[in-house]
Amino acid sequence: MTQTILIIDDSPDIHQLLKVRLKNLDLALAHALSGAEGIVKAAEAQPDLILLDVHMPEASGFDVCRDLKAHSSTQDIPVIFLTGAADVDQKVLGFELGAVDYIQKPFDSAELNARVRAALRTKRFQDMLAQRAMIDGLTGLWNRTHFEMRLQDEVAATQRYDRPLSLIMLDVDHFKKLNDNHGHPFGDEVLQAVGEALADTARTSDWACRYGGEEFAVILRETNLEGALILAERLRKLIEGLTLRNKGQDVQVTASFGVSCSELCMNPLDFSRRWLITSADGALYAAKHAGRNRVRFAEQKATVPATETNVGDGI
């Protein structure tokens, strides 16, 4: 994937020079001619690296770096300072402010390329580790930690832009019995097969997650109840149709589904991550009690029930 560098420098000549010097690297470049513009662009574009001029007429590079490091959306973006003179104090201050490196003007082409490549390599590795910490080891889906974070962000976006958000929660039917009758390795196979079905069916804008145990969740961005129900039914059929065999014996696997949507929340002030999870979970509970292997959606309600139901246990 192409990595992006944001250059923040008050001199248009420096932008042009860097563009020429970095042309051999497979990079996308973004440009800002002042600190204020750079701070906005860094938050928006989420570049993989920032090249930051120390000497700028309004906010200095040091001020900009302090600002970038003070905000959660930009604090992890590595910064390389572009310094003028060989001033040791300035370089030390840059590192103290959280910069990963500095490059002295005028640029030596080989040194510039080497330092930029090294910073980008580290960034790519950090991104990979961060992503790995968010992935469920058994199924390869997003894990519970990522689910909670993503849902929080999507709920906030839904409130801000007034667009629908849906959540599907599903639970493998009689999973305990499957484990008891066929052994835990087979149980793991079932979870992997369900995980695969979810990953294959989810659209690129959806977030398919392992919620915990044999329970899964799919966050459906900008999706109304009707769209969510169609997807849930498609998933239900897909899981029902899975061909799973253990010791020469066909094993039928099914799952129950609970669907909720922001449209079902009567009072927008009540809409929250907890509201969405609790209402989808309630619908899942209803699907289990109606005989399993079916989709149910949440009732319209204004408030969150006092206690959260834990559908995964013993049903």
Residues forming the active site = 214
Q: How far is the CB of 36 from Mg ion (least distance, A)?
A: 14
Q: How far is the CB of 113 from Mg ion (least distance, A)?
A: 21
Q: Which is nearer to Mg ion, 1 or 20 (CB)?
A: 20
Specify the stretch interacting with Mg ion by CB under 5 A; choose among 6-14, 126-134, 142-150, 230-238.
Answer: 6-14
Distance of CA 29 to the CA centre of its chain: 24
Separation of alpha carbons 9 and 82, rounded Å? 9
Compute the chain's Rg from CA coordinates: 25
3-state per-residue secondary structure call for 215-240: EEEEEEECCCHHHHHHHHHHHHHHHH
Q: Which is nearer to Mg ion, 14 or 284 (CB)?
A: 14
Q: Which is nearer to Mg ion, 30 or 33 (CB)?
A: 33
Site for Mg ion in 22-81 (CB under 5 A): 53, 55
Which pair of structure tokens corresponds to residue 159?
Answer: 């409130």
281 belongs to the binding site for Mg ion (CB under 5 A): no
10 belongs to the binding site for Mg ion (CB under 5 A): yes
15 belongs to the binding site for Mg ion (CB under 5 A): no
C-alpha closest to that of 310 among 210, 209, 171: 171
Distances (CA, A) of 37 to 22, 50, 162, 305: 22, 13, 28, 46
- Total number of residues that touch Mg ion (CB under 5 A): 3
Which pair of structure tokens corresponds to residue 229?
Answer: 């129900």
Q: Which is nearer to Mg ion, 30 or 244 (CB)?
A: 30
Binding site for Mg ion (CB under 5 A): 10, 53, 55
